[in-house]
């Protein structure tokens, strides 16, 4: 289990929820947002939003 986590972290694999988070951030545009607000709107946990944002930064998709 630990080795799978390490491989995912090294490759920064984009998951479907990461794409959903990126799409939401595109729709939001330049408006300020917080993890709690995004999590509520997408019916996800704050940690999932944070992980998706971390993955996006790993692919140079900063929002």
| Extents of the domains making up the chain | 2-58
Higher pLDDT, 40 or 7: 40
* CA–CA distances in Å: residue 11 to residues 1, 5, 8, 54: 16, 10, 5, 12
Predicted confidence at residue 37, as pLDDT, reads: 95
Characterise 45 by phi-psi region: left (phi > 0), alpha (psi -120 to 50), beta (else).
Answer: beta
**Confidence band for 34, pLDDT divided at 50, 70 and 90:** very high
Which backbone phi and psi does 61 adopt, to 5 degrees? -110, 65
**Confidence band for 36, pLDDT divided at 50, 70 and 90:** very high
């Amino acid at each position: 289990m630990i080795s799978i986590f390490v491989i995912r972290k090294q490759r920064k694999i984009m998951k479907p929820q990461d794409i959903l988070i990126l799409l939401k951030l595109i729709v939001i545009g330049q408006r300020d947002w917080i993890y709690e607000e995004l999590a509520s709107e997408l019916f996800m946990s704050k940690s999932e939003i944070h992980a998706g944002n971390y993955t996006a930064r790993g692919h140079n998709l900063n929002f």
